[in-house]
Structure 1
């Protein structure tokens, strides 16, 4: 039996509108999750490198938890578990503002933040401690020295690993479809169920994911090249 491929649906406005909505949802989800991941990565890295045993223990527990539990479970925990513990008024507000999207980006962002914090920690450990000591000697506080001297250099060193985890974050936004968040994979499945053009629609989705992932890698390489520490 010969399977006839039909790519004519790619020219239909209704199809293009659905795919565009899904693609926009994926980009928004990835952007918000990335912002949360970076914020958590910096916070956890600072805690891991501090002199406080309590901070180190909390940060280590955070990293171990998120690195050893599947991302899909994190999303389910936030959507089905944490949501049920919130006050009724908060639940109503979140439900009125796309709860699927909110809990999905929180779960993804917190999880990938753990991985990125380890990238940053590796970068921080590569910076000579004498730089921190010199900064403190000049009158900077620990946080000022970290923010102005150590962190900028650590970001440069850890940029390749951060880029890799950013691409991973982008691809993992597809897991948000399991809780009903409207993103590219969710829309792909919906269009496939409407048109029964399985190969064509999943091929298009694959090409879009591949293209955007390669674009992210290229953009990351450009940034890495611009901020790279060059030996003189």
Structure 2
């Protein structure tokens, strides 16, 4: 059962969370504001209510997790978002990252390969108000060619390679934020598609994500 009430206590815990991730290096004021406004406990079972605003990941079923708030803020900050950009997210999961993106004022196209998680989000009442999020059940490696090209691509799972089809769907001048690598630790990369179609890559901190897998799962 998901919580549906955002109490004063939750708001206070969010303010503390913002202080924590700010101290860890998140400097984008809009990102901090959004993290402070989105009720993360709504995305978790009520059993997690007392710990929902700790800066750590939690299981959400199907072997997936809701990402650590610092990680969500870190990837969002790297995207350098502008209002009305089209953003492709690979790995909807709990939809917490998708909502953070939507609150940043962009149009979100998010893909989930786990049918149960996709179906769960379809009946998640809180998401109904986000008309700027479109949800898809599919293979993240394939992206959404019909809806591209995208200004930004964010991958929220450990990618073994930079998926070539997602690079194809990235606009010239667009950016992809991707945790790259196999094993327990991945390095966050930001890949920019230059005007001539060539790619530039920046390397950032190490993180730990669940693996990005091909295909769809019923």
TM-score bracket relative to the smaller structure: under 0.3
Q: TM-score, length-normalised on structure 1?
A: 0.21
Task: Identify, as 1 or 2, the structure richer in strand.
Answer: 2
Pick 1 or 2: higher relative contact order, CA cutoff 8 A, min separation 6. Answer: 1
Larger radius of gyration: 1
